[in-house]
Amino acid sequence: MDLAFALNVNSSLDFPKNIALVHEWFSPRSTGGAEKVVQVIDDLLTQIAYRPEIFSLVNCENLKKGSWLFNRKVKTSFIQGLPFGISHVQKYLPLLPFAIEQLDLEGYPLVISSSHLVAKGVLTSPDQLHISYVHTPVRYAWDQMNIYLKRSFLSKIGLGPLIRFQLHNLRQWDQLSSSRVDYLIANSNFTAKRIWKYWRRPSEVVHPPVSVKRFEWNKPREDFFLSVCRLVPNKRVDLLVRAFNKLKLPLIVVGDGVEKRYLENLAGPTVQILGYQSMEKVEDLMSHCRAFVYAGIEDFGIAPVEAMASGAPVIAFGKGGVLDTVKCFNINPSNDSTGLLFFDQTVKSLVEAIEFFESKQLWRDLNPELIRYWANSFSEDSFKLKFRKILNNVWNDHLKSCDIGSSDLGA
């Protein structure tokens, strides 16, 4: 079905002219998959209804020429005016729940939030419909708290108990604010499970949009493995480095973050820590690597899908979002498998997976064209069609409930 035709089906649905689209922040130090989701939702709403008003704790994106937000009005919170508020918004973590509640959404019958921390906590009235696309319940407040705290600088200087108390308060607010949302969308089945575990709310899964078209899948494979991610503790790049040190196989690590120096010191002669690289360089590396490797627990994991869009097989820790995205050869061997999963987050388990991959020469057997074909199911077009269907249904139900409420009130 043609995308433009599909999006125009039921285009006469009575969407309001005033739509609010809320995201945590548009900060120069934090741009990734969550911001891409906001951009695609903004584009979809403009196609099928009206261009939404953008709300965010802080913003600098609309000042950048070439940005999708250039010259767009973005309504921000008081954090915008605090010292280093734009560039280091996360440093104000204790204030962020309060700040998001100060955004004035009166006059917007439809509110859509993109939330990985506090965006879902905006205040709305009973007459407003609030749909939240959830990237994750706050990782470092729930199940990944101890991972973050182990290497936290503040913990090392004795502030661990204070941080734990702040995260205790954040957990309470996170659970409480989840009840304000009318309809929850999760970015993966793993996230949906975490939403149920911590919020006791059902959610519908819609995988986030991935720009698969910008990757080339038919390039020759070279003799190196690749990792692309932020260099932070929960990504477990240290496992990758230790495994490739042991195997003496070539690994290229792309990314920047607090773990970079630690990983540089850990790396053996076959491991290169390249740091930040341009989008063009990343695309080239993905198109030529023997396989993409990942050892962290990702709520969805856009980078593995980008690798598959490049025709590269994926070797990843078998927990989290990769269970939705990687068709695992060692569970169900077939011609359309897209990679391998290992199931213990240890160097030993990862080494065994890579040795199996090498001994079976799977980079030759796993068809890059079929890997790319599978990646297409996570495209922007696919996301728009699924999100549009939910939006239609939920908005229709909301209108009906408003009519019933008005009738009951009149009676």
Give residue-wise pLDDT tens across range 9-64: 555 468 999 999 999 999 876 667 889 999 999 999 999 999 999 999 999 988 88
Q: State whether residue 220 is helix, strand or coil.
A: coil
What is residue 407's predicted lDDT score, i.e. its pLDDT?
A: 46
Q: Where are the domains of the chain?
A: 13-209+379-410, 212-378
Cα dihedral value 355, 147, 89, 64, nearest 10: 0
Q: State whether residue 107 is helix, strand or coil.
A: coil
Check residue 379 and report its DSSP letter. B
What is residue 65's predicted lDDT score, i.e. its pLDDT?
A: 85
130: exposed, middle or buried (Cβ count in 10 Å: 0-12, 13-18, 19+): buried
The reply to whether 212-378 shares the fold of 13-209+379-410 is yes
pLDDT tier, 148 (very low <50, low <70, confident <90, very high otherwise) = confident
What is residue 402's predicted lDDT score, i.e. its pLDDT?
A: 82
In DSSP terms, which residues pair with 271 in a beta bridge? 251
pLDDT at 379 over 80: yes
What is residue 6's predicted lDDT score, i.e. its pLDDT?
A: 56
Cβ distance 131 to 189 under 8 Å? no
Per-residue pLDDT of 271-315, as tens digits, reads: 999 999 999 999 999 999 999 999 999 899 999 999 999 999 999
Q: State whether residue 365 is helix, strand or coil.
A: helix
Instruction: State the sign of the Cα–Cα–Cα–Cα dihedral 303, 205, 21, 39.
Output: positive
Q: Which CATH number fits domain 212-378: 3.30.428.10, 3.40.50.2000, 3.30.70.3340, 3.40.640.10?
A: 3.40.50.2000
Check residue 300 and report its DSSP letter. S
Homologous superfamily of the 13-209+379-410 domain (CATH)? Glycogen Phosphorylase B; (3.40.50.2000)
- Residues 6+ positions from 77 with CB-CB distance below 8 Å: 56, 57, 58, 99, 100, 102, 103
**Of 278, 352, 276, whose CA–CA distance to 318 is shortest?**
352
Per-residue pLDDT of 77-121, as tens digits, reads: 999 999 999 999 988 999 999 999 999 999 999 999 999 999 999
- Residues 6+ positions from 203 with CB-CB distance below 8 Å: 134, 184, 185, 186, 191, 192, 195, 196
Q: In whole angstroms, what is the distance from residue 223 CA to residue 244 CA?
A: 13
